[in-house]
Chain A
Amino acid sequence: MNDTVVHVDHLSKHFRILNRREGLGGAIRDLFSADYKTVRAVDDISFDIQAGEIVGYIGPNGAGKSTTIKMMTGVLKPSDGTLLVSGNEPYANRRRNAQTMGVVFGQRTQLWWDLPVIESFRILKEIYRVDDATYEKHLGMFNELVDLKALYSQPVRKLSLGQRMLCDITASFLHNPRIVFLDEPSIGLDVSVKSKIRSVIRELNRAQRTTIILTTHDLGDVEALCRRIIIIDKGKIIYDGPIGKVTALFGAYRTLKVQIHNYKEGTSDQLEAALGARFGGDAAIAVEHTETGWTDVTVNQDQVPLFDVLRFVMETLPIKDVRIVEISMENVVQQIYDGALK
């Protein structure tokens, strides 16, 4: 119990959102409307996170990831349930809690836009009351991991996205927090920067035994960093456990995206039936028509060779275009609902 950094027990967050109507008339009526609906952004979730863990907190868009992070950082007040971070209630002790945590939001920066990077670090050093020796030690460590020195004199607004992210991660660890929240740290970055960021995160977790909660869309981040993942969808936790089982899922599944000539309503159902008849798999092949005009055929390669499916589809239907992609977060979630982990 002593080593529990995050304790979440039957936690919920509900928002009241105005039901917007359509059109100008609707917008005018909305001004006086009291027609609210309740959105359960986070709905009765429970988990514990121990010191030194790197936990992947993942799920599709709008699943409730950010809401959970905002509650853990003390920005949002939980509607119901218990939430303790380092033994504090984050919302009630916002400032005390802030002292023990670091935060990186991929699309925002905590650095001062107009100032050279090193000045931002110095301000943060004062804000978090880091002593000189610790500060020097940390910066030394970061310089070994990634050569940041060359960037120190640059104003933050002149950094590239990848450079800025490295600096932001550095900044979030400066005060030796017990827990660091990384929200989409690799969003929009190219592969080499991604791998650099991953190795920095891994090293910081190892060196300081910092607990890290990582939310991301990038399954690669999760595979590279986390031993445990929590998958959330529609406000509920649908998986909490070792990553091993789930990686098998990411690994084995591929989505075959095809554009069908003269696509008609029901074509995807016929295709699914035909594939089922041909390959006999029950949950192995799922067909779904998407709004973008592509039809997704998700295949479990452990059961059916992808290229057999491709050949079959090409023979059965007039295909204009084909793409093969790795499974998306939405598909992983769908597979879990369909019982892939049971």
Chain B
Amino acid sequence: MKSYFALVRGSFMAIMMYRLSFFFTVIGNLLYIVLLYFLWSSIYRGVETIRGMSFNQAFVYVALAGSIFTMVKTWADWEISWHITSGSIIMDLVKPLDFQFYFLSQTVGFMAFNFIMIALPSALVLLLFFGADVEMGVGLLFLPAGLILAFLISFAIDYIIGLTSFYTESIWGISMTKEIITTLLSGALVPLQFFPDAAQRILRLLPFQAIYHIPLTMLTAPNLDVRACLGLLGTQVVWVVLLFLAGRLLFTRASRVLMVSGG
């Protein structure tokens, strides 16, 4: 456990080495919020609610989705793929560590940094300067757990995508597909409520909405009770367990076909 914590600490330090990149992410994220504000203002011009959501709810939902994006985006798929195709995976495999937790630890530092430095300040800006309101209910109490589980689901998916490099040697196509699916079908771009009812029923069966829609529901849905929140967390936990196990299974299979470059 201590060894994985050392990796978390290391990745937290590593991301701090790139100060300039950090400033641009902050600025970019603020610009994104401004853009969303005007976009959704014009969508809501002359209407009170769309599919049961007020402007405030919809705006908070999509703007905070942007903040969640900065913390659940692990890049682990690209990282793993790069290690596999460049052959440097051999340096990972000769360490006495579990491969999945090894990569997880190295992304936790990034996540923590992005949460403290980007997601949290963006959320504060949103609340203070855009007059946005979040629901002050039990949902807020469950939010930290919801966000952590969202991160774990996102990582588990990226981990699986990264491992497909063992077979395909390039993950560009599959990673872009995942990116588009996650963005469109998770609530990251458009609240899930805006989809037709039939589509919503299918989307709720997929893991993607557990990354964005579930934590955002905790923040924006009125009158959530404890039971509803536990239900949301339960869905996330199921996905974490399933996707982590799938990743482990894939690694066991994939490492059998492993052929590190060179001979």
Q: Which of A95, A114, A155 contacts B96 (CB 8 A)?
A: A95
Contact A94 B3 (CB under 8 A): no
Interface string of A146-159 (1 = CB under 8 A from B): 00000000010000
**6 chain-A/chain-B pairs, Cβ below 8 angstroms:** A62-B263, A70-B90, A75-B90, A75-B260, A98-B96, A127-B97
Contact A114 B14 (CB under 8 A): yes
Determine the chain A residues whose CB is within 8 A of the CB of B263 once the complex forms.
Answer: 15, 41, 62, 64, 66-67
Contact B96 A123 (CB under 8 A): no
Q: A95-B97, A119-B10 known; A129 and B3 CB under 8 Å?
A: yes
Contact B91 A109 (CB under 8 A): yes
Tell me if A128 is interfacial: C-beta within 8 Å of chain B.
yes
Q: A62-B263, A70-B260 known; A127 and B91 CB under 8 Å?
A: no
Nearest 8 CB-CB pairs, A to B?
Answer: A126-B6, A114-B14, A98-B96, A127-B3, A99-B96, A95-B96, A103-B94, A123-B6
Contact B6 A96 (CB under 8 A): no
State A109–B260 Cα separation when bound (angstroms): 15
Determine the chain A residues whose CB is within 8 A of the CB of B260 once the complex forms.
Answer: 70, 75-76
Contact A74 B93 (CB under 8 A): yes
Q: A75-B258, A126-B2 known; A112 and B95 CB under 8 Å?
A: no
B5, B17, B94: which has the most chain A beta carbons within 10 Å? B94
State A126–B9 Cα separation when bound (angstroms): 11
Determine the chain B residues whose CB is within 8 A of the CB of A109 once the complex forms.
Answer: 91
Contact B17 A155 (CB under 8 A): yes
Distance in Å from the Cβ of A314 to the closest Cβ of chain B? Answer: 41
Q: Which residues of A from 242 to 292 have beta carbons under 8 Å from B? A: none
Tell me if B242 is interfacial: C-beta within 8 Å of chain A.
no
Determine the chain A residues whose CB is within 8 A of the CB of B18 once the complex forms.
Answer: 114
Contact B10 A103 (CB under 8 A): no
Determine the chain B residues whose CB is within 8 A of the CB of A76 once the complex forms.
Answer: 258-260
Distance in Å from the Cβ of B100 to the closest Cβ of chain A? Answer: 12
Q: A64-B263, A77-B256, A126-B2 known; A101 and B95 CB under 8 Å?
A: no
Tell me if A115 is interfacial: C-beta within 8 Å of chain B.
yes
Q: Which of B5, B90, B258 contacts A105 (CB 8 A)?
A: B90
Tell me if B34 is interfacial: C-beta within 8 Å of chain A.
no
Distance in Å from the Cβ of B101 to the closest Cβ of chain A? Answer: 11
